[in-house]
């Protein structure tokens, strides 16, 4: 079955530093990858949609200069949180789709980011 991994699973960093989170599709080619942020009430917020080889499409209210997304290959997308602040502490989840449709998405296990 389709598997998506995320690395790291947990990261703790100091305020002002940058953190990179990787999302990999292990056994399939992901045409599209999605990045979500999970808030304490459990709902997921879609941050951006990335297609391989093109710029990511960010949702309204998401700062593209702060959350840098790169989708360099059909199996890898990265989210870099630049100049992280404590309010960026959250759970970040990626998902991958083979067709670009949001109906069938393979979710990664998530990355817990804590900014001190």
Contact call for residue 102 and another protein (CB under 8 A): yes
Q: Which stretch binds another protein (CB under 8 A): 16-24, 64-72, 79-87, 101-109?
A: 101-109
Residues 30 to 59: which contact another protein by CB under 8 A? 36, 38, 40-46
Cβ-proximal residues to 108 (8 Å cutoff; 6+ apart), any chain:
4, 5, 6, 23, 93, 94, 95, 96
Least Å from the CB of residue 50 to another protein = 15
Beta bridge pairs of residue 25 = 4
Residues in the chain: 116
Q: Which is nearer to another protein, 27 or 83 (CB)?
A: 27
CA 92 to chain centroid: 6
On whether the CB atoms of residues 91 and 79 are closer than 8 A, the answer is no
Least Å from the CB of residue 23 to another protein = 13
Contact residues: another protein, CB under 8 A: 1-3, 9, 36, 38, 40-46, 91, 93, 95, 102-107, 109-110, 112
């Amino acid at each position: 079955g389709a598997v998506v991994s995320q690395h790291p699973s947990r990261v703790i960093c100091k305020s002002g530093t940058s953190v990179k989170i990787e999302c990999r599709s292990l056994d399939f080619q992901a045409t599209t990858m999605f990045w979500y942020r999970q808030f304490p009430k459990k709902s997921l917020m879609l941050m951006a949609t990335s297609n391989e080889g093109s710029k990511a499409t960010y949702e309204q209210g998401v700062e593209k200069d702060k959350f840098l997304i790169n989708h360099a290959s059909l199996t890898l997308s990265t989210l870099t949180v630049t100049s992280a602040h404590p309010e960026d502490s959250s759970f970040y989840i990626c998902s991958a789709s083979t067709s670009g449709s949001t109906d069938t998405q393979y979710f990664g296990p998530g990355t817990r980011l804590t900014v001190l």
